[in-house]
């Protein structure tokens, strides 16, 4: 590579560097674990590509090994990382989804969407929507993927994600509540873990953490340069003029926040707004004391992480909706 190709264009630290030749050097989440059988926790995984033609979009599927002919709840998961980092193959997410599937006895699909800065954020939403349509095409048991045909209970479909992935999950549920014609499958629930919501004006304790706030302030303008306003309804769903949450296309929502996370007040505001919106579902919130943003990904064995996992497993498996 010549010296001109190595010339830096700009940085978005601590996440990535962009060079003048267009090369993007990601600094986080660049490790990769292949799919396979984890006999220790009893989960098998595999990758499926060619879901969105001529793109890098793929999904990693997870299935408990000893599920026999059982139909299991289906969890469609969107990874976090500021929309621009990590993949389903990253160790943080592969290990987390393995554990989630083992503990919850679900079949899970972890979605890899195209990422900024190569692709603006609307492409991530579009890719995620196309993945949902591909998944739901299996609802009659005659789709191209046997695991979905044989093991997915399409009466119990959930969306989930952390941080930016939780933002995607919310936006997919909003799409599901407003599309015409409707999707072939109803989404039963959405589990939002430390969701990335924001806004132009600080709320709650956000102003007490100027360094953290400055970092979050610049995220949306980086991933969405065409509309860098932090009150874009995709990132601030309770902004003035945003579509009403009453159209959220699911029947139950679980919001998980962490005490030390600067995003916690947005998660709580979303919970309160959803509760008074006229939406006819059930919403609950869980706060982990003493922990920060996506703490559970970095230590799956801590008691706090185990408690969070138990809450999610209960949410995906409770029968009374």
Mind telling me the catalytic residues?
A: 163
CA distance 34 to 45: 9
Q: Which residues pair with 278 in a beta bridge?
A: none
Assigned token pair, 143 = 């789709």
Q: Which DSSP category does 208 fall into? A: G
Nearest to 51 by CA among 107, 106, 112, 98: 112
Q: Which DSSP category does 247 fall into? A: G
Give me the helix-helix angle, 303-317 and 91-104, nearest 10°: 60
Provide the terminal-to-terminal Cα distance of the chain, rounded to the nearest Å.
58
CA distance 160 to 110: 10
């Amino acid at each position: 590579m010549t010296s001109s190709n190595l010339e830096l264009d700009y940085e978005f630290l601590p996440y990535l560097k962009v060079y003048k030749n267009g090369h993007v050097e990601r600094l986080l989440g660049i490790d990769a674990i292949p799919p396979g059988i984890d006999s220790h926790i009893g989960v098998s995984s595999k990758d499926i590509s060619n879901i969105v033609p001529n793109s890098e979009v793929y999904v990693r599927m997870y299935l408990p090994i000893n599920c026999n002919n059982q139909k299991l709840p289906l969890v469609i998961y969107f990874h976090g990382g500021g929309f621009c980092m990590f993949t389903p193959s990253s160790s943080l997410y592969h290990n987390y989804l393995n554990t989630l599937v083992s503990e919850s006895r679900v079949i899970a699909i972890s979605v890899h969407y195209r990422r900024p800065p190569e692709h603006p954020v609307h492409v991530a939403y579009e890719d995620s929507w196309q993945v949902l349509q591909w998944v739901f095409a299996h609802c009659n048991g005659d789709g191209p993927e046997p695991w979905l045909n044989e093991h997915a209970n399409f009466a119990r479909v959930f969306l989930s994600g952390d941080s930016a992935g939780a933002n995607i999950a919310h936006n997919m549920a909003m799409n599901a509540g407003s599309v015409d014609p409707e999707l072939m499958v109803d989404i039963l629930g959405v589990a939002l873990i430390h969701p990335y919501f924001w806004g132009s004006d600080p709320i709650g304790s956000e102003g007490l953490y100027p360094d953290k706030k400055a970092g979050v302030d610049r995220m949306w303008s980086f991933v969405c340069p065409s509309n860098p306003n932090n009150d874009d309804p995709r990132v601030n769903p309770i902004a003035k003029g945003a579509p009403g949450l009453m159209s959220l296309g699911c029947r139950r929502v679980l919001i998980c926040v962490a005490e030390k996370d600067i995003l916690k007040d947005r998660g709580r505001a979303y919970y309160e707004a959803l509760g008074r919106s006229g939406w006819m579902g059930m919403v609950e919130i869980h706060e982990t004391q003493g922990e920060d943003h996506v703490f559970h990904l970095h230590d799956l064995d801590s008691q706090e992480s185990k408690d969070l996992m138990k809450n999610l497993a209960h949410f995906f498996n409770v029968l009374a909706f």
